[in-house]
Amino acid sequence: MRGNKTTYRIVLLLSFLGLNAAILAGIGSVWSYLNTGADRTSILHLPKALDQAYLPKMVWDSLQVEGRPMESPTLQEIERDYLSAWYIRNRALETNSAEGLADYFTDSARTKLYKILDFNRQQGTHVKVTTLEHHPRLDFYSADGKMVVLTDYQVRTYEEVYRNKLLVAKRRSIRSYQILLLLEDGFWRVRHWQEITSEPDSKTSITEPSLGEEEAIQQIKGINYYPQQTPWNMFGTNFNDRIIQSDFKKIRDMGLNTIRIFVPYTAFGKAKPDAEKLERLKQTLVLAEANDLKVVVTLFDFYGDYSLYDWTLTHRYAEQIVNTLKESKALLAWDLKNEPDLDFESRGRERVLKWLRQLMIEMRRWDSEHPMTIGWSSPEAAVYLSGEVDMISFHYYREAVQFPKAYTRLRDAVPNKPLVLQEYGFSSYDGLWNAYTGSEEEQAAYYAEIQPLLQAENIPFLLWTLYDFEEVPSSVVGRLPWRTERQKHFGILDSKGTPKAAYNYLCFDCR
């Protein structure tokens, strides 16, 4: 009995100590929360980081501001909250929901927005809109640091108006706004938002390639390139410039003059490309120039969103790559997207084409010197946007005997642009998963048949590819063995670097 009492006392004592520890821990958590403050993205209606949702180009003019001088950290906060206001406003116009507006607009500013949303709901209307570029000028910064007046000039805007879910209007425009922001609770909120000018944005002209560029395009004899050991991950941590230098020498020694390389959007860092990968990409073009090779750079590989809200993110990604490479003497052309027509069914044809059109407009702002193309998956798809690109690039993996007919149809449809066979080839895989239809001999026979056709019509070409690969990532063709095994064996060199029979039909300086 005495032992039981002792046990009860011990249990009660331990329970008391545990309860007190829990209370103290709770008090500590509350104290920590009150001292550190909540993460703003956890209490406002924003993604974890705005740069993962909305990144229009911002060009500030803060030199002539009246009042107190503008501090750099404050300007960054103003930009963050101002763009957040745009993002929330654009979302509200699409959904006709006021959610989040109170976080970035004062009471009086919200009143006008509420009226717009109410009217749109009554009319069955909603608006999809994004801005692409802003040129804000700071006009006034109050002495107490709590009020800012700015004029946002040349706001390039794209919007679509839907009524009862049907598209009734779309337009590009250039607008200017007068904005007043107040600092409240540590956040900059819009107090006044007034559009002061608006005009159509008609600066979508297409520049024709120069005579020299057309000649360079017409002379393309090239190959789609990945290093043997790092296919589809060329610019990762295993990047090896010595291997690339050796491969480029092999390509040049064959008598080829052009390579096509691929920049994977997600793996490269999306809107904020990885600095090391950018440097490796730049080094690749340096090596190409040293080997007298021209380069076609495919900007978007493994990308498939195309939504209006993704436009500014993809623009920031492309802009950084273009600015990194556009001065390179090795750069021949920009290939905007690899096989975008394969996303027509899942994403919608018009959604994909709108994204491509706008990207092309932006690209010509950043680089008006180099030709632009799109890598369509077939000759039939290559008619899309043919009037807007500088050269027509198409892929062909059907029988060689059918090529002249497919090419002639495309030539008739687009008679005034250079046509480039950007991908073609034949797998030498002879196993079960290719129905025993491939072999190195059949691969050689394919090139023996198709190369004279290309030569007869003087068709620029880039074959797929230099090496066989031991592994193909599932993200490329999926996990199905009849796809992955076949994909491993398109090289004209095997995985050890030994020439296959097809090599003899593609080594123009070996004859």
Give the list of residues 6+ apart from residue 489 with CB closer than 8 angstroms, or none.
Answer: 427, 428, 429, 438, 468
Token duo for residue 360? 């092309």
Residues linked to residue 467 through DSSP beta bridges, in sequence order: 493
Query: The tokens 């198709």 sit on which residue?
Result: 450
Q: Which domains does the chain have, with CATH numbers?
A: 43-200 (3.10.450.240), 211-505 (3.20.20.80)
CB atoms within 10 A of CB 112: 13
DSSP symbols for 372-401: EEEEESSTTGGGTTTTTSSSEEEEE-S-GG
Calpha distance 484→472 (Å, rounded): 6
The answer to whether 188 touches 176, Cβ cutoff 8 Å, is no
Residue 204 is predicted with a pLDDT of 59
Calpha distance 439→426 (Å, rounded): 9
The answer to whether 214 touches 130, Cβ cutoff 8 Å, is no
- The pairing of beta strand 372-376 with beta strand 258-264: unpaired
DSSP symbols for 77-112: HHHHHHHHHHHHHHHHHHHT--TTHHHHB-HHHHHH
Calpha distance 376→126 (Å, rounded): 33
Please give the single-letter amino acid code of residue 261: I
Calpha distance 150→181 (Å, rounded): 8
Calpha distance 146→189 (Å, rounded): 10
Token duo for residue 322? 């273009």
Q: What is the CA radius of gyration of the chain?
A: 29
Calpha distance 353→359 (Å, rounded): 10
Q: What is the pTM of this model?
A: 0.88
Please give the single-letter amino acid code of residue 180: L
Token duo for residue 71? 């501090």
Residue 143 is predicted with a pLDDT of 94
- 471-475-478 Cα angle (round to 5): 80
pLDDT in tens, the chain (511 residues): 555 556 656 656 666 666 666 565 555 554 444 344 344 444 445 555 677 899 999 999 877 788 888 999 999 999 999 999 999 999 999 999 999 999 999 999 999 999 999 999 999 999 999 999 999 999 999 999 999 999 999 999 999 999 999 999 999 999 999 999 999 999 999 999 999 999 998 765 556 666 678 889 999 999 999 999 999 999 999 999 999 999 999 999 999 999 999 999 999 999 999 999 999 999 999 999 999 999 999 999 999 999 999 999 999 999 999 999 999 999 999 999 999 999 999 999 999 999 999 999 999 999 999 999 999 999 999 999 999 999 999 999 999 999 999 999 999 999 999 999 999 999 998 865 556 566 999 999 999 999 999 999 999 999 999 999 988 776 676 666 656 788 899 999 999 999 999 999 999 877 6
Tell me how far apart the 2 most distant CA atoms of the chain are, in Å. Answer: 107
Calpha distance 454→403 (Å, rounded): 9
The answer to whether 465 touches 490, Cβ cutoff 8 Å, is yes
Q: Is 267 helix (H, G, I), strand (E, B) or coil?
A: coil
Residue 431 is predicted with a pLDDT of 67
367 φ, ψ to 5°?
-150, 105
Residue 473 is predicted with a pLDDT of 73
